[in-house]
Amino acid sequence: MSGPHSGPRSLSESELIMGDPGPTGRFGEFGGRFVPESLVPACMELEASFRRAWIDPAFRRELDHLLHSYGGRPTPVTECLRLSEELGVRVLLKREDLAHTGSHKINNVVGQALLARRMGKKRLIAETGAGQHGVATATAAALFGMECVVYMGAVDMERQALNVFRMELLGAEVRSVESGSRTLKDAVNEALRDWVASVDTTHYCLGSVMGPHPYPWMVRELQRVVGDESRAQCREILDGKDPDVVVACAGGGSNAAGTFAGFADGTSSVLVGVEAAGGAAMHNGIPGVLHGMRSALMQDESGQILEAESISAGLDYPGIGPEHAHLAAIGRARYETAGDTEVVEAFQRLSKTEGIIPALESAHAVAWVIRVAGTEVLPTGSTVLITLSGRGDKDVAQVRDILRRGETTPR
Ligand SMILES: Cc1ncc(COP(=O)(O)O)c(C=O)c1O
């Protein structure tokens, strides 16, 4: 199944599957910019600034330098010898858990903070679910001496208490969101509300490939480094070949989009995004508009957004970034789900076989690979790259409690 490397950069941006969506920010029928009148100029200013910065060699140099000297890039690709033997497939992990602050979120945030500084903004706001994006934003704010406010659902503040303290240690103010399901969706609403009122001084550092244009495209480009690095590293390990299957978990979908961007053009690698079974917008969703974008959303017949439900705060979102809806529509990526019990089992299995404790979010991708290894989707002898989006330290207490309560059986 491996495809030869035919050089994705030889195609023009508009010909690329994961290229520039242009000024409308449309990915097929998805994406766009559905925001209140007061935010349209802010989104347009942000798009123009990002376009200028992204082709400015000085900006790119500074970003690369920071991601290297501060963020710990490049992260390695690790071959899982024991798990591979058990599953009969060759498993490689892209180790975003080893990036500074413990997840891929730092890639996006350092880029957006640099951009905010360039735009003269002195205050960063962010939403967070698992807390990783909030921690990354608080970190970048500390690095650049900016004020930082993070919106977080009250439910998530409870299950990710350690990350709340971490953000406070880093100098950020964490605001508890008590509306709706008190999780990620509601935190995004509050952050957007803040931005409407503070747009002159504030940059909204959105944490995934969602929201109004330019965020889905901009965040994907800032996360592309994960896919570009992986592609080169895999070719070294696999004697010039690409992995047969490339898998990443998907909440809003930024680690998946960044990973897929390295493989979507010029390879025949099968791209698989794994959502939480209780937050599976690609499986249970229908097209609609939320948080400034048109995408696949979990909603009832009258368009009311349904609550997502997952043990993993970072995947507890009733939507997915619009480019994923498009990649599914054109058949370039497929989307699968993993349930809480198999995720907790995968969390333990990777810990025991490889000495790597994954984030619960990333454990969704691992769980799917464990389930399908040896089937026609992932035949014996094939190669699979999993993006390990983050480390599991933040989830250890939660998993301990789940296992103690016997909600799932220890392995
Ligand atoms: C470690 C980790 N992985 C994945 C996600 C999901 O985000 P995305 O789908 O944007 O990668 C999160 C979100 O908080 C996270 O913390």
Helix (H) or strand (E) holding 26: strand 26-27
Examine residue 255 and state whether it is found in any structural domain, yes or no.
Answer: yes
Phi, psi torsion values for 123, nearest 5 degrees: -130, 130
What residues are labeled active site?
Answer: 80, 104
Rounded to whole angstroms, how far apart are CA atoms 131 and 151?
10
Q: Kindly state whether residues 281 and 184 are assigned to the same domain.
A: no
Averaged pLDDT score across all residues of the chain = 95
Q: Kindly state whether residues 130 and 254 are assigned to the same domain.
A: no
For residue 163, the CA-to-ligand 1 centroid distance in Å is: 14
Q: Kindly state whether residues 377 and 257 are assigned to the same domain.
A: yes
User: For residue 217, which of 30, 382, 405 has the smallest C-alpha distance?
Assistant: 30
Structural domain containing residue 49: 27-69+105-204
Examine residue 21 and state whether it is found in any structural domain, yes or no.
Answer: no
Confidence grade of residue 2 (pLDDT, cut at 50, 70, 90): very low
Q: Kindly state whether residues 355 and 249 are assigned to the same domain.
A: yes
Examine residue 12 and state whether it is found in any structural domain, yes or no.
Answer: no
Q: Supply the pTM of this predicted model.
A: 0.96
Judge whether residue 6 has pLDDT over 70.
Answer: no
Confidence grade of residue 9 (pLDDT, cut at 50, 70, 90): low
Q: pLDDT > 70: what percent of the chain?
A: 96
For residue 395, the CA-to-ligand 1 centroid distance in Å is: 13
For residue 137, the CA-to-ligand 1 centroid distance in Å is: 14
Q: Kindly state whether residues 312 and 191 are assigned to the same domain.
A: no
The length of the chain, given as a count of residues: 411
Rounded to whole angstroms, how far apart are CA atoms 320 and 211?
10
Examine residue 232 and state whether it is found in any structural domain, yes or no.
Answer: yes
Minimum CA distance residue for ligand 1 atom 15: 314
Q: Kindly state whether residues 34 and 94 are assigned to the same domain.
A: no
Q: What is the pLDDT of residue 130?
A: 87
Examine residue 6 and state whether it is found in any structural domain, yes or no.
Answer: no
Q: Kindly state whether residues 41 and 165 are assigned to the same domain.
A: yes
Judge whether residue 410 has pLDDT over 60.
Answer: no
pLDDT tens digits for range 253-304: 999 999 999 999 999 999 999 999 998 999 899 999 999 999 999 999 899 9
130 pocket-lining for ligand 1 (C-beta < 6 Å): yes
398 pocket-lining for ligand 1 (C-beta < 6 Å): no
The total of structural domains in the chain comes to: 2
Query: Which of 254, 335, 360, 395 should be mutated for ligand 1, with most atoms under 8 A from CB?
Result: 254
User: For residue 303, which of 323, 322, 285 has the smallest C-alpha distance?
Assistant: 285
pLDDT tens digits for range 32-85: 999 999 999 999 999 999 999 999 999 999 999 999 999 999 999 999 999 999
* Angle at CA of residue 270, ends 268 and 273, nearest 5°: 145
Examine residue 294 and state whether it is found in any structural domain, yes or no.
Answer: yes
Q: Kindly state whether residues 154 and 266 are assigned to the same domain.
A: no
Q: Kindly state whether residues 164 and 284 are assigned to the same domain.
A: no
Rounded to whole angstroms, how far apart are CA atoms 312 and 63?
30
139 pocket-lining for ligand 1 (C-beta < 6 Å): no
Q: Kindly state whether residues 161 and 47 are assigned to the same domain.
A: yes
Which two tokens mark 351?
A: 């810990």
The CATH number of whichever domain residue 233 belongs to comes to 3.40.50.1100
Examine residue 4 and state whether it is found in any structural domain, yes or no.
Answer: no
Phi-psi map region of 28: left, alpha, beta (phi>0 left; psi -120 to 50 alpha): left
Q: Kindly state whether residues 37 and 50 are assigned to the same domain.
A: yes
Domain boundary among 204, 232, 249: 204
Examine residue 129 and state whether it is found in any structural domain, yes or no.
Answer: yes
For residue 204, the CA-to-ligand 1 centroid distance in Å is: 18
Q: Kindly state whether residues 165 and 235 are assigned to the same domain.
A: no
